[in-house]
Amino acid sequence: MTHAAVLEAARALLVEGGVGALTMRALACRLNVTPNTLYSHVESKTQLLDDLLDDLLAAVAVPRLDDPDPLGAIAGLMASTYAVLTAHPDLVPVFLERQGARGPNAVRLGELMDGLLEREGVRGRAGVDARRVLIVHTIGFAALTTSSLGSGEPKPPSGAASRRNFMRSLGWLLAGIAADPGAVSTPGRARTRKL
């Protein structure tokens, strides 16, 4: 009975029955313990979910910061993130509810992205905006990839079709970001008091 065992059982519950099935009581039952025992290994259910989230992000394949093609590297990074998220669709709503993960892996990915964007000449305010756009697009697509979204089309598109659609629109966004770096490229006093 360890922290890791709890996480693993939680993941199993999530896969088998979705978020609704992940209950401290069900979790305890699966581990053959009483519910309160879990609190010796997990601070709270919220913390447990955060741990699951960050574990998920650990599976994202990260490009090298010095990749010769920064824009392509970013595309690959987002594609990998998308793949990881859609592979575990049950966690995505949790992700949204938390307003984005804040664990060490999330931070690492964010910094890597900033580095790659900077190599494209996108930094400062523009960098923050660009990261936001890309993350919204990726998480949003992952979150809504299995729904029919409004009228008609009762049959949601296949996973492969969704992925193609994701990559295509991701390309549009990257093109826009690259075409308009809009960066205040001179750091220092020039941008100190600009909001």
Give the residues lining the site for DNA (CB under 7 A).
Answer: 1, 22-26, 32-37, 39-41, 44-46
Q: Which of 18, 35, 72, 93 binds a second copy (CB under 8 A)?
A: 93
How far apart are alpha carbons 58 and 108 in whole angstroms?
A: 10
Distances (CA, A) of 55 to 10, 31, 105, 150: 12, 20, 8, 32
Q: Is 135 near a second copy (CB under 8 A)?
A: yes
Interface pattern 153-182 for a second copy (x via CB under 8 A): x---xx--x---x--xx-xxx-xxx--x--
The pair of structure tokens assigned to 6 is: 């709890």
Shortest CB 32 distance to a second copy, Å: 32
How far apart are alpha carbons 13 and 11 in whole angstroms?
A: 5
Shortest CB 5 distance to a second copy, Å: 29
Q: Is 136 near a second copy (CB under 8 A)?
A: yes
Q: Which of 40, 46, 47, 148 binds a second copy (CB under 8 A)?
A: 148
